[in-house]
Structure formats: structure tokens, C-alpha cells
Amino acid sequence: MDGSVTDRHAALIAADRADPPEGFVEIPPVGNFDTMLGALYGRPDGDRMVMGFRVCERHINAHGTCHGGMLASFADMLAYAARVGAGLMETSMPTVTLSVDYLRPVMLGDWVEGRSDVTKNGKRLLFSRITAEVDGVTVMTATSINVPGSHDATGGERLRRVMGSGT
């Protein structure tokens, strides 16, 4: 590594990696913000994608729990994954609105697993409900509205890596 920002980000992610539960594969980051979040993982669950991450030091706030900003970012990523169930694998899905409810603290080392369900796939907007759990206990819920955008082949490739080439 030559000390560049990209190398430092890669070192942080490598330090945070923890073996995910069976069936999860890493979702490659696309940009700097994705890299900053740390390793995210996904696995198929029927026609939708389940995502997860391990709470690491980088995610901890001054109270010793996972920062709400990380959980909100995770909810936003889960809204992105809703496009799998909507049949919009290669369509960019910018967020119009995201509303998050934090239900329980999430601790260092916890595996956070989330799902998004499409509640309405309208002509111009995609609505989804998001739930995140730790050990089967719901820690966060959210709702998201996204707008189908431009063609997104790179996003489609990332999703197919998790879901398999047949999706």
C-alpha cells in the first residue's frame, strides 16, 4: 500500500472483517461512502436480498453503541436492495425519503441482519418497509421511498453477485 486514501480505506475494512453467517457474501463497495461504512454482506432469500454487517469499532458512538447514522445508512442500503424484489436489478434507485425508528441499542460485535419488502411499486416511486434484527430481535424499522433512475449496470452486477446470475 502506498498510503493513499483508498489504501487506508482498504486497511480499515480489512481490520473490520468478521466471518459473516453461512450463505452471506461480501457486497463490493462502489464508492468512498460505501468503503467508509465497512464490509456489508448479502444473501438471497427467495426473491429478495438479506443484508448484514458486523458492528465494529468504526460504528460505535460516544455511548458505546452502534451509531444511529450507521443504522440509517444500513437502512438506506436495504432500500437499495428492495429493487431486487421489484424486478429493477439494473435501475438506479435514489432515495426520496427515509424514516428510521431505532428500537433497541446495537452493541459492538453484533451481527445486524436486515430485510426490505416492497410495499408498493408505483409508476414513479418504489415504497419499501425495512426491518433490522440482532439475534432475532428487531432493533430498527424504517420506511423508504425511492425513485427509479437511470440504468445501473454496476449495481446490477453487485446484486447478481449476491443473488446469483439467474436473477
Half-sphere exposure of 14 (CA within 13 A, CB side): 7
Q: Where are the beta strands (DSSP E) in 11-136?
A: 25-27, 40-45, 48-54, 95-102, 111-121, 126-134
pLDDT of residue 1: 44
Is 106 buried (19+), middle (13-18) or exposed (0-12) by CB count in 10 A? buried
Do residues 162 and 25 make contact, with C-beta atoms less than 8 angstroms apart? yes
123 vs 86, 127, 146, CA distance in Å? 12, 11, 11
Q: Which fold has domain 5-163?
A: Thiol Ester Dehydrase; Chain A (3.10.129)
pLDDT of residue 11: 56
CA pair distance 44, 25, nearest whole angstrom: 10
> For the chain, what percentages of helix, strand and coil (3-state, to nearest 5) are there?
30, 35, 35
How many angstroms from the chain centroid is the CA of residue 121? 20
pLDDT of residue 166: 46
Per-residue pLDDT tens, the chain, 167 aa: give them: 455 555 655 555 555 666 799 999 998 887 778 888 888 999 999 888 999 999 999 999 999 999 999 999 999 999 988 888 888 888 889 999 999 999 999 999 999 999 999 999 998 999 999 999 999 999 999 999 999 989 988 888 888 888 885 44
Kindly report the backbone phi and psi dihedral angles of residue 141, in degrees, each rounded to the nearest multiple of 5, phi listed first: -130, 155
